[in-house]
Structure 1
Amino acid sequence: MEKISEAVLADPVELTRALCDVESVSGDEKHLCDLVERALRERDHLTVHRHGNTLVARTQSSGGRDAASQRVMLAGHLDTVPVNQNFPTRTENGVMHGLGTSDMKSGTALALWIATQVKEPAFDLSFAFYECEEVESERNGLNVVSRAHPEWLEAHFAILLEPSYGKIEAGCQGTMRALVKTEGKRSHSARSWLGDNALHKLADVLGRLNSYTAREVPIDGMLYREGLNAVRIGGGVAGNVIPDEGWVEVNYRFAPDRDEEAAADHVREVFEGYAVEVTDSAPSCPPGLDRPSAAAFLAAAGGEAQAKLGWTDVARFAALGVPAVNFGPGDPNLAHTREEHVEIERIENCAAVLRSFVTGKE
């Protein structure tokens, strides 16, 4: 495909199919980014910036009734997880199956649809189409742009079109990974009493996890459930050696009432007496539904929201001072699965909500 046709750009369902049928596994987004860039640059009402394979488009002085008071950003990532016998798309009984249909090209397509089809929004709009969301944080396109060109991401409110099954999911959990380490003394396994088995000490670490009671935290009427779990375990030297070190990798999902420092302190408290090394961390994001733009979008979407149980890039917007919510047609439970799919009716319903919100028209 050399260009996304005008007919496809005008139809959010066909646009979803077109984006999904361009392979864009993380790190290989260039072709899809080129197609999206061409579609955006053909619009006179947009100013377009590119950094790597990340695009940010902005309207200027739309003239809408709220243009002077707010700017809203719609954002979606271009990449997918690796192909898993689910490419290209197929449609059966009103359901589109295939890689990226849920996570998150159906949402990204809605951002591109609004960007190209709504020329007179009620307020200024920005759009971010970014690379490498599905891999390590330092490669994430939003993260890269936030450091290189933070002014591109300025807004009063952001809608991240991650899969939420057509419901507003506000804020997000923070996430932290840490290694809990045990130490011992090596010896020959035939004379184990001369050593100190570090792996046996992992039983206490796992016991603390097994008896751990996770918090349930209500914030702004939404319930955020935490979790602290072992995700990997390791150690050992050889089949005839008593090991002198072992480790458990734990993942802590924490509510928005805790920042990363408080989360790390909590993990160290749980595993007091052991060495704890935090290896990866990303902040939580509060709901932010008290902001005027967020309240207006909540009303346009039916007035109901729920807590986001997971981490998304809304936290990156929060770090920039931009309240954000998750809202997209895909089912988050299907993300990264071979069975990934999206209901066409969900795409159409979410498109109607977004268009009503950005135009101010029923």
Structure 2
Amino acid sequence: MGLDLHADVAELTAALLDVESVSGNEGRIADLVAEALGALPHLKLWRDGDSIIARTDLGRAERVILAGHLDTVPLPTTEGARGTVPASWQADVLYGRGATDMKGGVAVQLALAAGLAEPNRDLTFVFYDHEEVEAELSGLGRLARRHRELLDADFGILLEPTDGVVEGGCNGTMRFEARSRGKAAHSARAWMGHNAIHDLAPILQRLSAYQPQTVSVEGLDYRESLNAVKIRGGIAGNVIPDQAVVEINYRFAPDKSIEQAEAVVFELLDGFEVVRTDAAPGARPGLDQPAAAAFVAAVGGEPKPKFGWTDVARLGQLGIPAVNFGPGDPLLAHSDDEHVSGQAVRDCLAALTRWLS
């Protein structure tokens, strides 16, 4: 059964949530989105893998990108977690993986695509895969490499969750691996070896003691974070491990370049074997740009910083000023009880409809 783009946008959100689309498994939801958009005669459609571009071509003086990713993080494993698949309702609150990050925003995109055959600006709708994984796999990055001309725009809106207020810019993100090396031995004769897992302790102590910064950039305060996010090591319960790795994630304010942020981690973990494995730069707010300032004035509210990394950074690299604006509390993203209120999704759709009508 296909998607009904003219249904209540909260019900459309529920339909999207019922389609599991963990990163790498976006095929089915991309098929449904492409099928639904393909039935709209006022849009021109392109598909690249599990990413989709749909555009109006009305000769308007301004073009706006409305972008959102189709994938989610993995489903929760905690017993009793409600942020899973399929979705469930409690009164007007919708629970499910991706409710805030970001199928509520994707539902708003789809409803706008169906409802605005004659918008006051030309629109480019972008739905893409692989946002929740390494930057090199990003569907939006792939579109920028292969179909750059289709992404030309004067302004961009990424429908990531912002609680219905504009969030400017975003923190950058990078990942590292810190490795320790030991000597394998039978655990009954541990003195013959050297335990690499134990050697991770001082790395973890430095990370635990580190005090993240809060950095003001163009009037918005960006909170940083630096954390161990995964540990691996050992091959069996009776073998002293000869290698161990701690994976580290640094979320850094957009005042820093990738090189400057990398230097923070290398300085903190000086003396250890550390390798950067992934990085994506942040984006400064840019709310003084005319298009962004006009949008803020139109939708109201006090702009906030975006603490998580989003593709406003990638749009900025393409020369497109962009902001985050979407339904749902961003603090609920990736949580075990991820949810969004139906009214929040409806309010976001109404605000964008007014601005584009």
TM over 0.5: yes
Name the SS for the 1:9 alignment partner.
coil
Quote the residue 1:133 is aligned against. Answer: 131
Alignment of 1:1-362 (within 5 A): 1=1, 3-5=2-4, 8-9=5-6, 11-63=8-60, 67=61, 70-83=62-75, 86-183=84-181, 192=191, 198-235=196-233, 245-359=243-357
CA contact (8 A) 1:185 1:243 kept: yes
Distance 1:181 1:35, change over 3 A: closer
In the aligned structure 2, how far is the partner of 1:49 from the partner of 1:56?
A: 5
Name the SS for the 2:101 alignment partner.
coil
In the aligned structure 2, how far is the partner of 1:186 from the partner of 1:80?
A: 39
Name the SS for the 1:104 alignment partner.
helix
In the aligned structure 2, how far is the partner of 1:41 from the partner of 1:158?
A: 23
C-alpha distance after superposition, 1:84-126 (max 9, x if no partner): 5743333332222333322211110111111121122222211
In the aligned structure 1, how far is the partner of 2:28 from the partner of 2:186?
A: 57
The one-letter code of the counterpart of 2:47 is: R
Distance 1:342 1:195, change over 3 A: closer
Name the SS for the 2:352 alignment partner.
helix
C-alpha distance after superposition, 1:291-313 (max 9, x if no partner): 11111111122141111111122
Distance 1:149 1:187, change over 3 A: same
CA contact (8 A) 2:179 2:244 kept: yes
C-alpha distance after superposition, 1:240-298 (max 9, x if no partner): 87766544322111110112122112211112222211112222111121211111111
Bigger radius of gyration, 1 or 2?
Answer: 1
CA contact (8 A) 1:26 1:80 kept: yes
TM-score, reference length from structure 2: 0.87
What is the number of equivalent residue pairs in this alignment? 350
The one-letter code of the counterpart of 1:46 is: L
CA contact (8 A) 2:10 2:343 kept: no
C-alpha distance after superposition, 1:303-344 (max 9, x if no partner): 411111111222221222222222211222333344222111
In the aligned structure 1, how far is the partner of 2:41 from the partner of 2:249?
A: 46
* Between 316-325 and 87-96, the greater mean CA deviation after superposition: 87-96
CA contact (8 A) 2:19 2:85 kept: no
Name the SS for the 1:232 alignment partner.
strand
TM-score, reference length from structure 1: 0.86
In the aligned structure 2, how far is the partner of 1:267 from the partner of 1:83?
A: 30
Quote the residue 2:79 is aligned against. Answer: none
In the aligned structure 1, how far is the partner of 2:130 from the partner of 2:252?
A: 24
CA RMSD of aligned residues (A): 2.7
Name the SS for the 1:132 alignment partner.
coil
Q: CA deviation at 1:196?
A: 6.4
In the aligned structure 1, how far is the partner of 2:88 from the partner of 2:203?
A: 47
In the aligned structure 2, how far is the partner of 1:250 from the partner of 1:315?
A: 21
CA contact (8 A) 1:73 1:157 kept: yes
In the aligned structure 1, how far is the partner of 2:267 from the partner of 2:207?
A: 12
